[in-house]
Structure 1
């Protein structure tokens, strides 16, 4: 019994090392996927063999490489209008990432500003901002996005603004909590005593402490915005044809699933890989930023 008790710490350490090695492998794979996805999106105009808008009815519904009816050059097959699926998928990935990144930046700026105001201004200002945060959390945002796009149209400008307000409440809550925590620190009281103004304190002392949690939240919210944009485009209220996006390609190709599943599989696979990659990297950044998790 004594030998078993003595061996328990060694077994725990060995299990922790194995778990750490497994997590490192997953993070490495996610990092490689992130580099490939980013490179494919940035270099899409030079990597794609065909123009994503070119149609060829003589080559419509051709299967990917490896099938009997494979058409030369169309590695991932063609869609119902003879357009190259691989070219459209890479350009769709490029547009989806651009929309998601723009929406995440707008949410970061809006939520960070409101959270900063709520953390520094007590009373009715803070109560009003936090009431808006509670309303955003309580109402399913997909329904709000559908309503806004149905009323205001599906232009890229409106779509970016809708994606921008999708997750601002998370940034506002994080910034407000961090500002309240930092405000209790002795060096903030010393800065106030020295006569420093609120803008100087926010720029010099508060914002540097917010970089780490905001970067983590930005990474985590990026995948949610990708899913939201894909959902809206799938329903026909996002990116409009013939401009390709991953969600619209899945939506347009769903009627051909029984006979030409490759039209849907390639963009759907990119959506899955993209969201999982961003989520894993976000979890890794969160673990690196949290001192308590690093000490375990």
Structure 2
């Protein structure tokens, strides 16, 4: 029986609205990624440049606006726009590094669990269940409190944040593929696990892994911003979006732009990347192609 929630039977008008929203979100994502990549060359000031004579100046359009500081300045006279774009650049670098580590760990364990079966699979899936059951933010806070808040530890923490999702996806896909005739024929012909994984399994895992990577990226951005907001992520004076919000919250009554600019970038970045992941998932779903 077909469910009314099946994406394959969504009304055409609703799909048209969804596609329009996806296009806007993808455009926002492209612009934000471009701004992050080009930040060192397009920002008007350095992220650490201070000017105490220009401290707490409002953005363009308000009284006491300081020329060149289009998004205002913070409590030390640093340009908010320059720091926000550099902070978004650092946040994305950390998120990409963490997502790659998670992909490597989860993909490898999921592949082993799907091919080996038996007690190996039971152990790996028990670890997956443990990871899902424990709120990872608390685990991250504990690790960073014990080991320090340097960037190496932070990247490792972000890397283990979502590996279980990759493991579950890869294991499920491997088990599905293992029942197909060409995999059974390879086993019958005497091919080893490594050859089958490299030659037959991995090429069929690219689409779901790309989709999961994109979806996980937005979650890692939120996690990194949360840790930096709490003072356990990126440390001053280097800017990240979360640390800018955390440091500027005391100035909300008098200088709200210090918080609003990085907060708006966090919302726009996570929203657009999440929609991009949904779009990639739709493209990978054979039921939705050419509709």
TM-score normalised by L of structure 1: 0.93
1:72 counterpart residue number:
67
1:205 alignment counterpart = 200
Whole-angstrom CA distance in 1 between matches of 2:117 and 2:11: 45
Matched residue, 1:6? none
Which residue among 15, 18, 21 is the counterpart of 2:16? 21
Identify the match of residue 257 of structure 1 among 234, 252, 258. Answer: 252
Matched, 1:190 2:213: no
* Equivalent position of 1:57 in the other structure: 52
Write the deviation string for residues 250-289 of structure 1: whole angstroms up to 9, x where unpaired.
0000000000000000000000000000111111111111
1:118 corresponding residue in structure 2: 113
CA distance, structure 1, for counterparts of residue 30 and residue 290 of structure 2: 29
CA contact (8 A) 2:26 2:273 kept: no
Q: Structure 2: 5+ residue runs without aligned partners? A: 1-9
Instruction: State whether structure 2 residue 233 is matched by structure 1 residue 230.
Output: no
The normalised TM-score by structure 2 is 0.95
Partner Cα distance (2:175, 2:12) in 1: 37
- Between the aligned partners of 2:23 and 2:117, the Cα distance in structure 1 is 44
Task: Report the Cα distance in structure 2 between the residues aligned to 1:295 and 1:191, rounded to whole angstroms.
Answer: 33
How far off its partner does 1:119 sit? 0.5
Alignment of 1:171-190 (within 5 A): 171-190=166-185
CA distance in structure 2 between the aligned counterparts of 1:295 and 1:73, rounded to whole angstroms: 48
Q: CA deviation at 1:295?
A: 7.8
Q: CA offsets, 1:121-148, max 9 Å, x none?
A: 1221111100100000000000000000
Structure 1 unmatched ranges of 5 or more: 1-14
Match of 2:270 in 1: 275
Note the aligned Cα RMSD (angstroms). 1.1
> Which position in structure 2 is the counterpart of 1:246?
241
